[in-house]
Structure 1
């Protein structure tokens, strides 16, 4: 990793550049001034993934530049990662150097941590995992107080749990989240908490129902469900659906129906193009949807799904790609105006930016 200045003046300039980028993209739609939510300068990233590189008879953490996959950048610490990851990195390295059972054909390490202090490490191998590995990994988990997951071709061994537990404070209430290994979660916990509070305030207290597309593990679902009568939420990933169901149960949120459908499939269902067995027992016509919440992938909403959102008085949209956000807003601009917008600096020291808009019917 190349050296970063980590000074507040440089960061302020970079954050303002992102805010200006959003202003420029939303200017054709008469958007208000965006709220800007900053990030800690260091130790903000709760996940990290490293390849391992042999040099001097030892394995080292390594990363590669996007334009050069042959020249490793050897890593001893990782200032943008959480303090917990930086604590674990040398401890884990010492453990594999002391144990051939842990180090033999180990080629990748993945860390996942939470603001609540939980940690999980995934070790990836080019060999089968045997009893010697199991014994060494169990001792490692005990010594470092972590969960350990071993991965090799066609096999996954879990020691402890296959998820970490996060706790986030939204509007005076603490929500608990299971965040599974291998599933998407917001990488910057501090900014995620700010983003959830913004969405909670933007939606407001309502007496009707909410449709949520791309709900993931229920990151937004939990707090937003407390603002409406009922929620119908959709997600296509089985892992995320299972985590979301557990999170709803753990937090005693009982006004959410969750179905494993893509946004495109739900659009077909609401348009009565075709029925879906996964919607059996759910009466779509019983919902009085006043708002829709979307947090789509980088490609944004497809045209049909975007057109579906036009039906709702309020469209609350979180985007990881401002270009596709602007494209979707252009499709909706004749019927909806931007009432609020925001920049969430999930990825400081990079050009990536997360943004949010609240669109309301004209």
Structure 2
């Protein structure tokens, strides 16, 4: 599975003791993570840590599996993180109930021995699942072969079989992927529906692009940020906005929002999410954080900002949710000029590295732990920093 499930083994170039959480109860490992994060943040923050626990089962809205062919049998496999040995997976308790049901139905179809099953099995090496809390699922099948019209006809039969076998499924779509080829059996996205601060939102989520994997924790993160970062009298800048997961609901808590994202697929989805949620004070720019720094500093002009005047914004707050590598020096310098910094982190190591810089200009006033991945060492955290 693509998500990292452990913290890095160094912090500030010092080794970090690796703890096996598999033998702990959920409450024990959740307490361990809270203590770990408190200790990590202690040079910067001594207040109360807000902590959000996850459902213990069926919290993952997406999952990826390699496929193993053993004679006439085909099944999902995963790899042990320690030994790197493969093991068969017929059910995944962490995944949504819909994904678990789809796993069984897909493999049952592939193992029928029919001509359709043989065509869909041949050179299949991976199956990915993306589901929603509203009962939609997209199944991506990855191949080491050319995908023909015959493959598409067989995939249509699989889609029909899944529509009948999957109870409580509002919609199922199939994607075939091979080198430089993508065949759609209807759509390549799901429509997620989330209730955030008593308001309903819909989000188009496209397969093979980033989405928050734990829907319940995702809602907790958005509500925590809106509660602690709200500023209706000023504007919000968000970097790394994806498909608008934060910026769409946060548009109700700021006067105006400008969000940036480099992925064209995510930007297009974000534009649809703005329209579908009737948001009027949010604009998206397709820029990397490095490019936005250049635009903000007026060292470079971008046609992608032709209809956006940065001087019209009164930015007081910036939200960053960077990849595991954290923030580059230019972005750090940029956000240090804002009154309030909202920092959502998936990597404690790079978070601390960035805090060593941001602590010179800002003070951490709120901190939170979001347990995106129970029973792993992975830690998602959120910080609110205010200018000293």
Instruction: Please tell me the TM-score bracket, short chain as reference.
Output: over 0.9
Cα distance, 1:277–1:229 mapped onto 2, change above 3 Å: same
2:296 to 262, 270, 273: 270
Quote how far apart the aligned CAs of 1:274 are.
Answer: 1.6
* 1:91 corresponding residue in structure 2: 105
1:46 to 44, 61, 66: 61
Kept in 2: contact 1:32–1:338 (CA 8 A) = no
Cα distance, 1:141–1:5 mapped onto 2, change above 3 Å: farther
Q: Deviations over 1:156-179 (max 9, x none)?
A: 101121101111111110110011
* 1:193 corresponding residue in structure 2: 219
Q: Deviations over 1:34-67 (max 9, x none)?
A: 1000001111111111111122421111111245
Kept in 2: contact 1:50–1:63 (CA 8 A) = yes
Q: Gapped runs of 5+ residues in structure 2?
A: 2-19, 164-171
Kept in 2: contact 1:45–1:81 (CA 8 A) = yes
Quote how far apart the aligned CAs of 1:5 are.
Answer: 10
- 1:72 correspondence with 2:86: yes
Cα distance, 1:264–1:340 mapped onto 2, change above 3 Å: same
**Which residues in structure 2 correspond to 1:58-137 (within 5 Å)?**
58-66=73-81, 68-69=83-84, 71-98=85-112, 99-137=117-155
Kept in 1: contact 2:52–2:217 (CA 8 A) = yes
* 2:375 corresponding residue in structure 1: 349
Measure the CA separation in 1 of the matches of 2:21 and 2:37. Answer: 24
The alignment partner of 2:91 has SS state of coil
Kept in 2: contact 1:53–1:72 (CA 8 A) = no
Kept in 2: contact 1:137–1:148 (CA 8 A) = yes
The alignment partner of 1:17 has SS state of helix
* 2:17 corresponding residue in structure 1: none
The alignment partner of 1:41 has SS state of coil
Runs of 4+ aligned structure 1 residues displaced above 4 Å come to 4-7
* 1:339 corresponding residue in structure 2: 365
1:144 to 151, 156, 162: 162
Quote how far apart the aligned CAs of 1:325 are.
Answer: 1.3
Measure the CA separation in 2 of the matches of 1:140 and 1:110. Answer: 15
**Aligned residue pairs: how many?**
358
The alignment partner of 1:59 has SS state of strand
The alignment partner of 2:275 has SS state of helix
Kept in 1: contact 2:256–2:282 (CA 8 A) = yes
Measure the CA separation in 1 of the matches of 2:244 and 2:198. Answer: 18
Quote how far apart the aligned CAs of 1:33 are.
Answer: 1.7
Kept in 1: contact 2:45–2:365 (CA 8 A) = no
Measure the CA separation in 2 of the matches of 1:106 and 1:20. Answer: 44
- 1:324 correspondence with 2:350: yes
Q: Deviations over 1:72-113 (max 9, x none)?
A: 201111111111111111110011122212112211111111
- TM-score normalised over the length of structure 1: 0.95
Q: CA RMSD in A?
A: 1.8
Quote how far apart the aligned CAs of 1:205 are.
Answer: 4.2
Measure the CA separation in 1 of the matches of 2:337 and 2:123. Answer: 54
The alignment partner of 1:52 has SS state of strand
The alignment partner of 2:255 has SS state of coil
Measure the CA separation in 2 of the matches of 1:358 and 1:227. Answer: 15
The alignment partner of 1:28 has SS state of coil
The alignment partner of 1:132 has SS state of helix
